[in-house]
């Protein structure tokens, strides 16, 4: 099943991945992705970042993405934690975890969830640059990454 | 009436995050709501000008220009998403 959380606070990657399989003996593989705030984007330094989202739709979009992953692969658990609000370079933004019997499903589903999250979940990044606040533009490469799962 | 929400750069350029808007008569769609918004002062046609990239959701589901609207619906306009 899917666990989805949208929160302003940080998360403990080890603890979250451990909880994903606690008490189970049918999981043979856990894959995970952690997204972090970089200190530069397109050659421009980033001092901080703010993540805006659409409360309500964000959670349902993430649940829908996980449900699609469960229908495409044989998965035991999926987890998405995404942070909102002010973040600094080095901060964790997102954690995706997938658990399955064998590694193939866990790897593929983890990448699929991130690709769909990037293009379908209503989050928007605003970077604090030396020139002032700048909304991040969507990338064509993210659309292409999501389209390969069509 | 429908509730219209704006997010991120669209919210900032329009200077509003939420408002109630009367639906055009008949069987309105997102397209007709957008026509009504574009007929406002300069910021609105500018924000929704051809070539500007934006998305729409109705009742928190991704929607399109052809999506029909009913009184009480929640319609959200926002730029392409950039999370993750």
B83 → closest Cβ in A56, A60, A123: A123
- Average per-residue pLDDT in chain B? 95
Query: Is the pLDDT reported for residue B51 higher than 90?
Result: no
Report phi then psi at B54, rounded to 5. -150, 165
Q: Are A137 and B54 in contact (CB under 8 A)?
A: no
Query: In Å, how far are A42, A71, B15, B57 from A54, measured between CA atoms?
Result: 26, 25, 17, 10
pLDDT of residue A1: 81
For residues B17-26, average pLDDT:
94
Contact call for residues A59 and A4 (beta carbons, < 8 A): yes
Average pLDDT value for residue range A21-42? 96
Q: Which of the four pLDDT bands, split at 50, 70 and 90, describes residue A51?
A: very high
Neighbours of B2 (CB within 10 A): 20
- Helix or strand holding residue A68 (H, E): helix A57-72
CA B39 to chain CA centroid, Å, is 13
pLDDT of residue A16: 98
- Looking at the predicted structure, is the pLDDT value of residue A36 above 90? yes
pLDDT category of residue B24 using cuts at 50, 70 and 90: confident
Which residues lie closer than 8 Å to A108 by C-beta, 6 or more apart? A72, A73
Listing DSSP states for A14-59 in one string gives HHHHHHHHTT-SS--EEEEEEEE--SEETTEE--EEEEEE-TTHHH
From A140, which residue of chain B is nearest by alpha-carbon distance? B80
Contact between chains at A124 and B53 (C-beta distance less than 8 A) = no
pLDDT in tens, A3-25: 999 999 999 999 999 999 999 99
Per-residue pLDDT reduced to its tens digit, A54-86? 999 999 999 999 999 999 999 999 999 999 999
Q: From the CA of A25, how many Å to the nearest CA of chain B?
A: 31
pLDDT attached to residue A124: 98
Mean pLDDT within A130-134: 93
Q: pLDDT grade, residue B31 (50/70/90)?
A: very high
Q: What is the pLDDT of residue A144?
A: 92
Residue A87, both tokens: 């973040």
Find the mean pLDDT for residues A20-38. 97
Q: Tell me which of A124, A134, A145 to substitute to probe the interface with B (most B C-beta atoms closer than 10 Å).
A: A124
d(CA B57, CA A47): 32
CB-CB: which of A57, A93, A124 is closest to B79? A124
Bridge-partner residues for B80, per DSSP?
Answer: none
The backbone region for A13, taken as left when phi is positive above 0, alpha when psi lies in -120 to 50, beta otherwise, is: alpha
Cβ-contact A52, A84 below 8 angstroms: yes
3-class DSSP state for residue A108? helix
Q: Do B83 and A56 touch (CB under 8 A)?
A: no
- The helix/strand/coil state of A69 is helix
What predicted TM-score, i.e. pTM, was given to this entire model? 0.95
| Closest chain A residue to B57, measured at CA | A57
**A47 falls in which pLDDT band (50, 70, 90)?**
very high
**Ranges A35-39, A138-142, B71-75: which has the least confidence:** A138-142
Q: What are phi and psi of A97, to 5 degrees?
A: -130, 140
Residue A42 has pLDDT above 90, yes or no: no
Residue B52 has a pLDDT of: 87
Q: At residue B79, does pLDDT exceed 90?
A: yes
Question: Which of B7, B62, B81 lies at the smallest CB-CB distance from A138?
Answer: B81
Token pair in block for residue A20? 């994903």
């Amino acid at each position: 099943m899917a666990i989805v959380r949208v929160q302003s606070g940080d998360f403990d990657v080890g603890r979250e991945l451990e909880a994903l399989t606690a008490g189970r003996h049918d999981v043979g593989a856990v894959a995970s992705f952690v997204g972090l705030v970089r200190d530069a984007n397109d050659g421009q330094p980033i001092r901080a970042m703010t993540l805006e989202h659409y409360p309500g739709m964000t959670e349902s979009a993430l649940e829908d993405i996980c449900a699609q992953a469960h229908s495409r692969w044989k998965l035991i658990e999926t987890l998405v934690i995404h942070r909102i609000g002010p973040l600094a370079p080095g901060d964790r933004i997102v954690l995706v975890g997938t658990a399955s019997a064998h590694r193939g499903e866990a790897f593929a589903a983890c990448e699929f969830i991130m690709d769909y999250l990037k293009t379908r979940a209503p989050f928007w990044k605003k970077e604090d640059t030396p020139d002032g606040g700048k909304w991040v533009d969507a990338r064509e490469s993210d659309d292409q990454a999501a389209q390969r799962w069509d | 009436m429908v509730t219209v929400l704006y997010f991120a750069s669209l919210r900032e350029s329009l200077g509003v995050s939420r408002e109630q808007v009367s639906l055009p008569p008949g069987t309105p769609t997102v397209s007709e709501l957008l026509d009504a918004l574009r007929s406002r002062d300069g910021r609105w046609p500018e924000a929704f000008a051809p070539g500007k990239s934006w998305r729409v959701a109705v009742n928190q589901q991704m929607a399109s220009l052809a999506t029909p609207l009913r009184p009480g619906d929640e319609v959200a306009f926002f730029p392409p998403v950039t999370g993750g």
